[in-house]
């Protein structure tokens, strides 16, 4: 077998040695046209590597099979990391076209790997003999993970079943790509252009953001509301114009459900059916059963038990909240029933009335730059990390880089923050990496990114965040630390490569430190005066933590339950997606005034990539963990208790997937988590039922 190589490949900046600072790819030289040939060569090379492993005449050993697998596919990983970073954070027609081409290729490639029967036979033999191989604990975990992955991917099935599985996976990959692109298309297609006279209720920062959005959308001098979450949620929260709120809200909740080329319902029906069929082939009753078996939760019932425990209390609290909002409408002389597009607006008013607190008063204290510093300072106090800005050529001028070092000044990794919304970026916020930590092929340090969608300020203005935005920043930074602090040998186990009902623990736990008074006092400083937030305001802000939590919990939990419902169907058949969603919500008596945080037609967690399919519950599952874990600090009376922080680093942030998640948690906490801390945190422990 020869390795494919051509003169054109040698000119391709993706395939050349990345000799820039910190081993970054040469972003300035990379164009969309380089990806397809780079993928082609990298895929072919990986295939050659795999074939060598699987056809090896020598008896399987940990080294010639597992270590060889761990060392394979490096070029493909590098190309894919750059590509998917851009496909998410700075995409365009050319990148989208490549994405549509390569996603089935990648799925086919992954299938060929996991359905390679000779390769599986080697792994299975090693796994059978695992006790006698003299493996370290980490090596044993790597072997167990490979074995489980291959079995779950169909490595042990007969050929016809494998062929069907491969076809299903490829089709799912294409559908997932189309799903995400449809949502983005609906978001890009919509803009509500407003005049000065339409802005009643909008505070200065929202006006400034709307003006900047109008500039970007080609309506200079006017104001624009877009379907970026921060733009549209801000508008729903502040706009006094009920008619305009309704317009924006309808556009927001109809994403992916507008008929025509970008309607996602047929895609969902097909994906749900294919997933159910795949689960059956692998011996599971439903996709949810299949999915949960390899999670911390283990069964759909365990996830439902948690959600049900929360749901009843959340609904009761939301009904109390609704009555208060309706009373406010009546008090103002309004003669209408509270509608979903009214909730955020009246909740904001009630928050202001009850706590004398309004978002416009809070927001100047949450400067993006100061909140980044606050996240860094928290990491310094917990883990001794320092962050130093470095000027590097990145993929977009809005992205900024920081070198991360430890107390002794040793290099830990590189952190890149890309915070502002733009038309070329998918919505949401996420952490990703250009390189993961490992020690198998040398002491490899990670390059970790946070991508967010905060409103970009007008030129010359400081970027301000809502308190929720600041929480998002801390959340993604927590994921970032999970990548940066990773301390494993084998890449398979590095950083965030843990089960999805455990992966939100480091991120959600980190949010708690934003609310630690000493962090807020130091970093919540007024954008104009530089003064810290007055104590009284801070106290009122913290007092609102449980405000509107009935709404937030209902909005979320409904999604998690509908997700489990749709993925628990043994035979979905020709699913009517809109009707199914309605029936599922009726079953749990969804309050009429609240809409799911993500309706199925634009539920990207489930259908764009599918990482959270039958897994959306995991945010709540992780929240049980994070609330309980933060209590470990509170019990010491010190939010930065060094001994607790050390255990946190050893068993959670630095430990990747070295252990089963339940074991890792027990090693940190000394016991399994209890739900009480979560209910208290959300103010649901004594909800008026
Ligand atoms: Zn997260």
Looking at the chain, the number of H-run helices and the number of E-run strands are 28, 7
Give the mean pLDDT of the chain. Answer: 94
pLDDT, one tens digit per residue, over 290-308 is 999 999 999 999 999 999 9
pLDDT of 2 strictly over 80: no
Q: Which of 362, 655, 375, 366 is nearest to 503 (CA)?
A: 655
Element spanning 403, H or E: strand 400-405
d(CA 679, CA 310): 8
Which pLDDT band, with edges at 50, 70 and 90, does 355 fall under? confident
pLDDT at 1: 40
Q: How many CA atoms lie within 13 A of 277 on its CB side?
A: 18
- Laid out side by side, the sheet with 400-405 consists of 386-390, 400-405, 411-420, 447-454, 430-435
Q: What is the mean pLDDT of residues 580-590?
A: 97
| CA–centroid distance, residue 448 to ligand 1 (Å) | 14
Question: How many CB atoms within 10 Å of residue 688?
Answer: 8
| CA–centroid distance, residue 377 to ligand 1 (Å) | 20
pLDDT of 182 strictly over 90: yes
| CA–centroid distance, residue 399 to ligand 1 (Å) | 20
Which pLDDT band, with edges at 50, 70 and 90, does 325 fall under? very high
* Burial group, residue 350, by CB count within 10 angstroms (0-12, 13-18, 19+): middle
- Interacting residues of 79 by C-beta distance below 8 A, sequence separation 6+: 14, 15, 35, 38, 39, 42
Which pLDDT band, with edges at 50, 70 and 90, does 356 fall under? confident
| CA–centroid distance, residue 604 to ligand 1 (Å) | 14
pLDDT at 359: 75
Q: Please, are residues 168 and 274 in contact by the beta-carbon 8 Å criterion? A: yes
- How far are the Cα atoms of 267, 502, 556, 597 from residue 603, in angstroms, in the given order? 12, 21, 12, 9
How is 55-97 classified by DSSP, letter by letter? T-SSPP-IIIIIIHHHHS-HHHHHHHHHHHHHHHHS--HHHHH
Q: What is the mean pLDDT of residues 389-415?
A: 97
pLDDT at 688: 45
| CA–centroid distance, residue 271 to ligand 1 (Å) | 24
Q: What is the mean pLDDT of residues 382-402?
A: 97
Q: Please, are residues 236 and 163 in contact by the beta-carbon 8 Å criterion? A: no
Check 75, 187, 257, 476 and give the catalytic one: 476
d(CA 236, CA 558): 21
Range(s) of the chain covered by CATH 1.10.1370.40: 7-156
> Looking at per-residue confidence, does 355 or 509 come out higher?
509
* Dihedral sign from CA coordinates of 81, 87, 92, 93: positive
pLDDT at 541: 86
pLDDT of 63 strictly over 60: yes
- How far are the Cα atoms of 360, 587, 669 from residue 357, in angstroms, in the given order? 9, 37, 36
Domain 7-156 belongs in CATH node 1.10.1370.40: yes
pLDDT at 358: 73
d(CA 555, CA 171): 31
pLDDT of 634 strictly over 70: yes
pLDDT at 5: 59
Give the CA radius of gyration of the chain. 25
| CA–centroid distance, residue 126 to ligand 1 (Å) | 35
d(CA 37, CA 303): 43
pLDDT, one tens digit per residue, over 183-218 is 999 999 999 999 999 999 999 989 999 999 999 999
d(CA 330, CA 562): 33
| CA–centroid distance, residue 112 to ligand 1 (Å) | 30
* pTM, to two decimals: 0.84
Which pLDDT band, with edges at 50, 70 and 90, does 689 fall under? very low
Q: What is the mean pLDDT of residues 93-122?
A: 92
| CA–centroid distance, residue 430 to ligand 1 (Å) | 7
d(CA 561, CA 165): 27
d(CA 99, CA 560): 28
pLDDT, one tens digit per residue, over 420-442 is 999 899 888 999 999 999 999 99
Locate the DSSP E strands across 436-568: 447-454
Q: Which percentage of the chain shows pLDDT scores above 70?
A: 98
> Angle, nearest 10°, between helix axes 368-383 and 504-514?
110
Q: Which of 339, 285, 229 is nearest to 604 (CA)?
A: 229
Put residue 153 in one of left, alpha, beta given phi > 0 → left and psi -120 to 50 → alpha: alpha
| CA–centroid distance, residue 85 to ligand 1 (Å) | 16
Q: How many CA atoms lie within 13 A of 75 on its CB side?
A: 22
Q: Is 438 annotated as catalytic? A: no
Q: Which of 670, 671, 687 is nearest to 679 (CA)?
A: 687
pLDDT, one tens digit per residue, over 660-685 is 999 999 999 999 888 888 998 898 98
Put residue 192 in one of left, alpha, beta given phi > 0 → left and psi -120 to 50 → alpha: beta
């Amino acid at each position: 077998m020869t390795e494919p190589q051509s003169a054109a490949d040698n000119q391709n900046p993706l395939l050349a040695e990345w000799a820039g600072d910190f081993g970054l790819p040469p972003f300035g030289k990379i164009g969309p046209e380089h990806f397809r040939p780079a993928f082609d060569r990298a895929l072919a090379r990986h295939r050659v590597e795999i074939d060598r492993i699987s056809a090896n005449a020598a008896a399987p050993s940990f080294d010639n099979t597992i270590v060889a697998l761990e060392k394979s596919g490096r070029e493909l990983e590098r190309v894919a990391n750059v590509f998917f970073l851009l496909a998410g954070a700075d995409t365009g027609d050319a990148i989208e076209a490549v994405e549509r081409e390569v996603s089935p290729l990648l799925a086919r490639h992954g299938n060929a790997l996991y359905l390679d029967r000779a390769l599986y036979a080697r792994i299975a033999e090693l796994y059978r003999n695992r006790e006698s191989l003299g493996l370290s604990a980490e090596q044993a975990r790597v072997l167990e993970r490979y074995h489980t992955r291959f079995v779950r991917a169909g490595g042990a099935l007969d050929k016809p079943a494998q062929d069907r599985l491969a076809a299903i996976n490829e089709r799912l990959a294409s559908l997932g790509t189309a799903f995400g692109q449809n949502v983005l298309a609906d978001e890009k297609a919509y803009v509500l252009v407003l005049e000065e006279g339409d802005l009643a209720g909008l505070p200065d920062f929202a006006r400034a953001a709307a003006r900047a959005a109008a500039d970007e959308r080609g309506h200079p001098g006017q104001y624009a509301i877009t379907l970026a979450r921060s733009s549209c949620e801000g508008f729903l929260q502040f706009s006094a114009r009920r008619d305009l709120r309704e317009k924006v809200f309808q556009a927001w909740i109809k994403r992916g459900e507008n008929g025509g080329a970008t309607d996602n319902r047929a895609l969902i029906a097909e994906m749900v059916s294919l997933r159910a069929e795949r689960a059956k082939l692998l011996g599971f009753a439903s996709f949810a059963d299949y999915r949960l078996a390899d999670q911390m939760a283990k069964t759909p019932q365990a996830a439902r038990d948690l959600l049900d425990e929360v749901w009843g209390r959340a609904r009761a609290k939301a009904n109390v909240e609704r009555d208060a909002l309706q009373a406010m409408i009546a008090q103002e002389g309004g003669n209408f029933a509270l509608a979903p597009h009214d909730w955020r607006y009246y909740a904001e008013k009630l928050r202001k009335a009850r706590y004398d607190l309004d978002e416009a008063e809070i927001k100047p204290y949450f400067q993006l730059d100061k909140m980044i510093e606050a996240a860094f300072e928290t990491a310094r106090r917990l883990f001794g990390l320092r962050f130093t800005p470095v000027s590097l050529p990145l993929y977009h001028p809005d992205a900024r880089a920081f070198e991360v070092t430890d107390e002794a000044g040793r290099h830990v990794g590189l952190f890149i923050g890309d915070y502002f919304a733009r038309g070329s970026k998918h919505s949401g916020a996420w952490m990703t990496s250009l390189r993961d930590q490992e020690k198998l092929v040398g002491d490899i340090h990670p390059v970790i990114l946070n991508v967010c969608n905060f409103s970009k300020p007008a030129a010359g203005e400081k970027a301000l965040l809502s308190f929720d935005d600041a929480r998002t920043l801390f959340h993604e930074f927590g994921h970032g630390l999970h990548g940066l602090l990773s301390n494993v040998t084998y890449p398979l186990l590095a950083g965030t490569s843990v089960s999805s009902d455990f992966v939100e623990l480091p991120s959600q736990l980190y949010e708690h430190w934003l609310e630690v008074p000493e962090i807020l006092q130091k970093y919540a400083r007024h954008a104009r005066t530089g003064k810290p937030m007055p104590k009284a305001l801070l106290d009122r802000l913290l007092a609102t933590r449980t405000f509107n939590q009935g709404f937030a919990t209902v909005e979320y939990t409904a999604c998690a339950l509908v997700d489990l419902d749709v993925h628990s169907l043994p035979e979905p058949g020709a699913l009517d997606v809109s009707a199914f969603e309605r029936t599922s919500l009726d079953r749990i008596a969804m309050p009429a005034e609240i809409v799911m945080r993500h309706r199925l037609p634009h539920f990207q967690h489930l259908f764009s990539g599918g990482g959270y399919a039958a897994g959306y519950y995991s945010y709540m599952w992780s929240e049980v963990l994070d609330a309980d874990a933060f209590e470990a600090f509170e019990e010491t009376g010190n939010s930065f208790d060094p001994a607790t922080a050390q255990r946190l680093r050893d068993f959670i942030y630095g430990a990747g997937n070295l252990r089963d998640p339940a074991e890792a948690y027990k090693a940190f906490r000394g016991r399994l988590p209890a739900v009480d801390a979560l209910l208290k945190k959300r103010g649901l422990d004594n909800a008026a039922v």
